[in-house]
Amino acid sequence: MGYMGFGMRKEVYSRKPKEAFKKLKQVHGEKPKKEKGLDDSEYLELKQYRKSRFRHFYESKIFKVLSSGIIVASVLVLMWVFGLSTYYLNYKQEQFDKHGIIEYYESKKDDLNLIESFFSARRKKIESVDEGFLGYQALKVKSIDIPFSYHIDSINLVNYNTSWTDKVCSIKHSTLIITGKGFVPKSYPKLWLLDILFSKPKPINPSILNYLDSDWDELSRILLILKNNNWTVSTKENYIRIGYEHPTFRQYNIMFSKSSLNEFSDKQHIEGYTLKSGTIVKDGVYWTRFERNF
C-alpha cells in the first residue's frame, strides 16, 4: 500500500502564500522564532514588540480619554438635572425679584403708566382684558352697579365676538341692548357684563365707546400695547393689576396702588401657594407673584 498523506503531493508544500496572508503578516509581523544567540528575555521582548504593532481601538489612549470624558459629562448632567438646576433657577429668580422686575418696569415704564391711567379712570366700567380663546383678546365691559366682588350667578353675562356681524350690542343710558338678525331683542338695565372678543382690531359700536368715554383710536392703541407685551389687566377697588408672563419664572403682577404693600397683600390668598411681593416704586408700584408650596 502506498502512503496516503498529503506530504507526498508536491503542489501542497510548494504552494505560495496568498496575498491575504501576506497583508496579515505585514500588520502583525511574523511570529518570531527562537533563534540561536537569543536568550529568553530578548525573545519575549521581540515577541511583545511584534504584538504591540497592532492594537484594537478600545485598547488605544484615544478611546480611554473619550470614554473617561463621556463618563464625567454624564455624571455632571445627572447632577445638574437632579439637583443643581433647581438651586440655580431659584437663585436666578431671587435675583430677578431683587433687580430684574425693577429693570423690566423701567424699560416699559411709559406703556405701563399709560395702561394704568386708562384703566384707573374706567375701573367702574371695565373689569379686565384677558387672553381669550385662540389668542383672542377679551375685553370685559360692565355696568357701574356691579361691585368689585360679586357672584357670577347674579350677573347677566353677554358674549360678543366682533367677527360675528349679525349680533349688535349697544349701550344707552347705562342699559345694555342686544339686537340683530336672528336674535330676540333683549335689554339689561343693570348688573350686566359684556365680554367682547377681538380676533382682529375691528371697531365696536360707537355707543360702547361713548360709554367708556373713549374712541376707537385710543382703545385700539391700548389693546395693541397689551397684546404686543403679552399683558393682561384687571381693575380692583384699590389697585390696577397688570399681569406679566415671564418666559422662565411665569406669572408676575405689577400692581399700581395707593395702599401700602402689606394692605393689599393681606387680601390675596391662593390655597397651596405663598405670595411673594416687593416694591418697585415707593408708595405706588409693587410686584407680586405666587410661589407653589411643595
pLDDT at 274: 84
Return the axis-axis angle of helices 109-120 and 216-229, rounded to nearest 10°: 130
Closest CA to 194 of 140, 234, 123: 140
Cβ-based burial of 19 (10 A; exposed 0-12, middle 13-18, buried ≥19): exposed
Task: Give the Cα separation of 231 and 234 in Å (integer).
Answer: 10
**Which residues have C-beta within 8 Å of that of residue 32, sequence separation ≥ 6?**
43, 46, 47, 50
Residue type, 95: Q
Place of cell 433647581: 86
| pLDDT digit string, tens, across residues 222-262 | 999 999 999 999 999 889 999 998 888 888 999 998 877 77
Query: How does residue 163 score in pLDDT terms, banded at 50, 70 and 90?
Result: confident
pLDDT at 1: 47
In the predicted structure, residue 97 carries a pLDDT above the cut 50 = yes
**Domain extent listing, the chain:** 99-123+236-294
pLDDT at 17: 59
| pLDDT digit string, tens, across residues 105-150 | 999 999 999 999 999 999 999 999 998 767 789 999 999 999 988 8
| pLDDT digit string, tens, across residues 25-52 | 555 545 545 455 555 565 556 555 555 5
Task: Give the Cα separation of 155 and 172 in Å (integer).
Answer: 18
Distance separating the N- and C-terminal Cα atoms of the chain: 97
How many C-beta atoms surround the C-beta of residue 57 within 10 A? 8
How many C-beta atoms surround the C-beta of residue 72 within 10 A? 10
Residue type, 26: Q
The answer to whether the predicted template modeling score (pTM) of the entire model surpasses 0.95 is no
Half-sphere exposure of 19 (CA within 13 A, CB side): 0
Cβ-based burial of 198 (10 A; exposed 0-12, middle 13-18, buried ≥19): buried
With vertex at residue 157, the alpha carbon angle to CA 153 and CA 161, rounded to the nearest 5 degrees, is: 150
* CB of 160 closer than 8 Å to CB of 206: no
Query: How does residue 72 score in pLDDT terms, banded at 50, 70 and 90?
Result: confident
Closest CA to 85 of 93, 69, 72: 93
Mean pLDDT across the chain, nearest whole number? Answer: 80
